[in-house]
Structure formats: structure tokens, C-alpha cells
Structure 1
């Protein structure tokens, strides 16, 4: 039974932990909030009081927090996980953070005799729970083989995007920039449909079977039509991720017209007080609901 620590068991991390428990892994769960940890304890997990406890005797640690500052604290802060992991253990870096932050963390982990795996994810908590989310993996071939069982248990859609830590993050930022553009465009189109007096559900039926279809539009706008803005993926996440993608684009000397426009819509939604809502709230913003 492989022992795995998971730090950050919110929507995505909690779904991943529940899947691993179902598949027979021993899971040590840590989060700032007690409720998601206790929900996993009821499914067979062990509660870890801090990242160091989550790392104790684990062959792998999954970091599933929000941003680079949290990754730094989880791994290298007081009671951080890196100092508590056994030599040779793997660390899966799953948040969407800047490539240079992945590279810095990977260098520090390697210096401690640990195995970094750049493994950002995409697909939402339902797909994380059933194993159909995407994992974009960049790591040494030996590291991948060492943790193949864990990685392929987490996802049936594993993409080896390279061996250089940071390339997983770069791939994820490209994906999330397009997700942000698609969502902003879909929210605008549905807001126009409302202004034109169209039936929103029927209009979305047409879009889903026509050239305007996108997965994120169907997923988010069905909820928006129902007025369901309970957060599965907060507005603040794509606000952050589109901003990181624009930073990466600038560093590469690239400038496109749509990314900045989409990012500005997420900025407006956050300024309007929607940062903690599901990112379906872009429709709420653009429709004036």
C-alpha cells in the first residue's frame, strides 16, 4: 500500500485524495480547514496536522494549493514537508504557478535528495474524482517511472510534455489562457442572447452542437443559467492564471489581442465582488444580472 501525503484537499485535492483512497492508497491529508480533512478521514484517510506530518513516511507528496507563496510555505516553511520526506520521495507540484517558481522549487527539492514532478492538472473536481482530468507532466524519465502507478491512478489522461521542470506549468498556462478566453467569450455571447430575448437554455443547446461549442462554456454556463454560482473554480483562479499566462507571454516576447481582454474581464469580475464565486459569474457580470 503506497503512502501518499496530500497538502491542500479542497475541491481538486479532496477529489484526488478520495480517488486514491478508493484505489487502495494510504492517504495523509492536510489542509488549513478542518472540514475537508475530516470528510476524507471518514473515507479512510489519516489527518495530518501540518505539511511535515503529511510527508511522514510518504513515498510521494502531492501539493495542491493555490499559488507560489503557498507552495513555498508548504514545502520549505516552518513544519514544511520537504525536510520531513524520506530521501528519494517524489513531490508532485500540481498548482498553476509561474514556470520560474516551479524551477526554483524543483532545484531546492533536488538539492534535498527529493524527486520533483511538475504536474499541473485541469478538468475540475468531478473529473479529478473519476480520474478523467488531465495531468501535464514534466520530469525526468526515471522520476515518471518511479511514480507511474500513482500518476496513472490520478489520471487516465496523462500528457508527458517534457523532462524539464517548468514545462508542465508552461503548458498549463497556455491551456488556461485559452480556457479564460473561451469562458469570457461564451459569457459574452450568452449575455447577448439574453439581451436579444432568446431562451438561454435552448441557445446553449444550439451552441453545444454547433461551431461555438467549448467544454468550459457548457460546464459553466449551464450553472449560470440556473443561477448556481457556488464555487467549484473561483473567479480568482482564472484571474490569477490568465495574469500568469500574460507574464509568461511577455517574457517570451509575445503579445496577442485576446488574452489581455479576457484577463480584464476576470479583473472586472473580481472588482465587482465575485472573486469568491464560481467563474460562471462572468455571465452574471456581463449580463448585469
Structure 2
């Protein structure tokens, strides 16, 4: 697609959080006309300052050819699509919805059916990679939908993702794959926190633990990515504890639907739930280690400004 063709394609992004903002700005950088939608005025102001157009309600995206839904959960996805100010009633027939939120596979199937009945196309297209990769257009997209929908959305997908996995022809498959990813991600974060808590409780230097494990067989992507948050004492949310309360609950519920036990995921869910109950739900998901601090009194690294203030 030429730059002129991209500029003629109108793209809407519903949800200007960390992932949505990054994706919206990546699309802007690729030459698309992008309208961002968020109820938070601050998020709209940031996107407008970046050169995009901003609106407060999904209904104001009627001019868009492709709409990305990058919200927190299935309830929000339902609301922005079919609620009183939802976008579905206002889009032209044949428009494409990329449903990028993490939802249950059963809900993704239902959304696909309802959108099809409304004359719209849907890709079940959960995303992974974090805010940095969203901003650089290097996400992974786990997508399923009819080939015609992929063709309509391909250039948008190319601009937002380093890898687009075509997993099937019907909605639900993409969300199933994302659920596998979230099970592993949640378990790995909870396990990284437990390993760090054990090492600290045994008297090991947290920095040395990180150095050794990231060069040993026990390493994981999540250990390498999240433990630095613990080492710096900075729990500014890049992905919050409550996200994994939600996602691991979806894993648990889907397992029940399939009569498949998920005991390891269930254990991780309990740790994230405990962290949320202790008041850390909106902190970075690495704050799950604070559960161990509460239980055993381990001393966690402090943020630089906190350490200065304690002097």
C-alpha cells in the first residue's frame, strides 16, 4: 500500500492505555489516519499531541474502515461495541473490527457471530509484546477469522505487528491461543516473584540472583523482564496485577468449561488475587512479590527516591 492509500484508510483505536496508545501511535507513524477513543481526557490529549485525532465515545468512529478494540476486558469490549455509545450501530457494512482484548474464547465466538449479523467483519486478534513493542509496531498478533478479513486488515496488521499468526478461519481460535500465552505469562511472573523471595529470604543479594539466573537454565522471558522492576523498587504499572487476576480467572473458567484441571495456573491466580486484595492491584504485576513480603517480612529493594528519603 502506498503512503497515499494508507492516508485514505481511516483507522480507529478504542482504548488508549499502554498497549492501545502504542499501537495507535505506531499506525500514525506508518501513515494511517488514526482516531483514538478513550473516556480519559488525559489519554485523548496525549494522543492528540502526537498528531492523532481523539474522540470520547466509540460512536464517533463511524467514519473508520478498521476499528481496533484494545480495552481491558470482555465487559468493556461488549460495551464499546454494542453499548449505548457503541461503535457497531454506526459503522458502514463491511467495516472491520479487530478485537484485540483478552477475552474468553467463548465470548470471542459470540462477538464474531453478532458482528457478522450486523454486517461487519471481525478478526479475533489478541496482541502480545508490551507497551514498547506496541509503540514500535512490533507486536505479536494471534489472529483468527475469514481470509477476506485478513486481506482487508492486512496493511494495518503489518504496521502494528512484527508477526501475525493466522490461526484459523473463525473467531475463538485467536483468543484460545492468547489464553495459553497468558497462562504461561502469569505463572512465570508468579514463579519469578517466588524465586526472588526465596533467594532474598536465604540472604542472597537480589542483584546477584538476577545476574546468575538470567545466565542459567532457570531463566524465563518474564523473569528477565519483570525482576528489574523489583530490583529498582519501581512498581509503576506497565501491566497491572489485576490484569492477571482477570486473565488467570479466564484460564480457570475455560478449564472448567472443558473439564480440564489447571492447578499451576490456579496457584498463580491465588497469588495475584492475594496481591490485589492487599491493595496492589493497580501496581505493576511484579508487585505480586509483595505477598511474600507481607507473609515473611523479607526486605525488598526500594526505589531510589524512597531510599534517599529514608536517609
Residue 103 in structure 1 maps to residue 100 in structure 2: no
Residue 16 in structure 1 maps to residue 23 in structure 2: yes
**In 2, Cα distance between the equivalents of 1:287 and 1:128?**
32
From 220, 238, 241, the equivalent of 1:214 is 220
Residue 5 in structure 1 maps to residue 6 in structure 2: no
Residue 47 of structure 2 corresponds to 40
**In 2, Cα distance between the equivalents of 1:155 and 1:182?**
24
Residue 273 of structure 1 corresponds to 279
**In 1, Cα distance between the equivalents of 2:263 and 2:150?**
37
Flag structure 1 segments of 5+ consecutive residues without an equivalent: none
Number of aligned residue pairs: 288
Residue 29 of structure 1 corresponds to 36
Q: Kindly indicate whether the alpha-carbon contact (under 8 Å) linking 2:244 and 2:272 is maintained by their aligned counterparts in 1.
A: yes
**In 2, Cα distance between the equivalents of 1:133 and 1:148?**
14
Flag structure 2 segments of 5+ consecutive residues without an equivalent: 1-6, 295-299, 301-311
**In 1, Cα distance between the equivalents of 2:215 and 2:239?**
25
Q: CA deviation at 1:127?
A: 1.1
Q: CA deviation at 1:131?
A: 2.0
Q: TM-score, normalised by structure 2?
A: 0.90
**In 2, Cα distance between the equivalents of 1:193 and 1:260?**
23
3-state SS of 2:237 partner: coil
**In 2, Cα distance between the equivalents of 1:256 and 1:76?**
32
Q: Kindly indicate whether the alpha-carbon contact (under 8 Å) linking 2:95 and 2:120 is maintained by their aligned counterparts in 1.
A: yes
**In 2, Cα distance between the equivalents of 1:36 and 1:24?**
21
3-state SS of 2:36 partner: strand
Q: CA deviation at 1:48?
A: 1.3
Structure 1 residue ranges, 4+ long, deviating more than 3 angstroms after superposition: none
3-state SS of 1:61 partner: strand
Q: Kindly indicate whether the alpha-carbon contact (under 8 Å) linking 1:239 and 1:267 is maintained by their aligned counterparts in 2.
A: yes
From 39, 49, 62, the equivalent of 2:68 is 62
**In 1, Cα distance between the equivalents of 2:256 and 2:85?**
36
Query: Greater CA radius of gyration, 1 or 2?
Result: 2
Q: TM-score, normalised by structure 1?
A: 0.97
**In 2, Cα distance between the equivalents of 1:129 and 1:279?**
20
Q: Kindly indicate whether the alpha-carbon contact (under 8 Å) linking 2:252 and 2:262 is maintained by their aligned counterparts in 1.
A: no
Q: Kindly indicate whether the alpha-carbon contact (under 8 Å) linking 1:229 and 1:281 is maintained by their aligned counterparts in 2.
A: yes
Q: Kindly indicate whether the alpha-carbon contact (under 8 Å) linking 1:221 and 1:283 is maintained by their aligned counterparts in 2.
A: no
Residue 246 of structure 1 corresponds to 252
Residue 186 of structure 1 corresponds to 192
**In 2, Cα distance between the equivalents of 1:262 and 1:49?**
36
Residue 146 of structure 1 corresponds to 152
Residue 263 in structure 1 maps to residue 269 in structure 2: yes
3-state SS of 2:254 partner: helix
Q: Kindly indicate whether the alpha-carbon contact (under 8 Å) linking 1:194 and 1:287 is maintained by their aligned counterparts in 2.
A: no
**In 2, Cα distance between the equivalents of 1:256 and 1:232?**
26
Deviation sequence 1:146-185 (CA, Å, 0-9, x none): 1111011110121112112011111111110111111111
Residue 230 of structure 2 corresponds to 224
Q: Kindly indicate whether the alpha-carbon contact (under 8 Å) linking 1:137 and 1:160 is maintained by their aligned counterparts in 2.
A: yes
